[in-house]
Amino acid sequence: MRRAKKLDLNASGTWFSATSRDQGAFWTSQMMEEQFNQVGPRERQIIDLLLQGCDNSEIARQLNIAERTVKAHFNRLFLRFGIKGGIKRVKLATLLYRRQLCMERQQNGGSQANANA
């Protein structure tokens, strides 16, 4: 049984994986942001719905597109973020969710620093 790749952000700003068998195991924050900034508006909508827990059919229905088109968008996202094999959808959701948490922490850290000054 293959273990899911756990992605985390260390103090130096590098995304890393507990299992480095997959390519794309190491990401700097800058690399992650560069890839995320290349995501188009439709893919961002799909990411938002993925993070809300929607499956392909729900995403297709909400965006009024074919389920096959949703799968094509996911395949492009998998390629963009270097996700291969295993449970790709979970890996993508985990990567993007952890990115979202990191961004929120950075924003909250900045506002706490301003409040303490």
pLDDT at 87 over 60: yes
Residue 110 CA to residue 49 CA, distance in Å, equals 28
The pLDDT > 70 percentage for the chain reads 68
The amino acid at residue 30 is Q
* Position 72 confidence tier, pLDDT thresholds 50, 70, 90: very high
Q: Can you tell me the mean pLDDT for 16-39? A: 62
Domains defined for the chain, CATH in brackets: 7-100 (1.10.10.10)
- Strand bridging mode 27-28 / 7-9: unpaired
What lies within 8 Å, CB to CB, of 7 at 6+ separation is 15, 16, 17, 27, 91, 94, 95, 98
Note if the pTM is more than 0.85. no
pLDDT at 96 over 50: yes
Q: Are 99 and 92 in contact (CB under 8 A)?
A: no
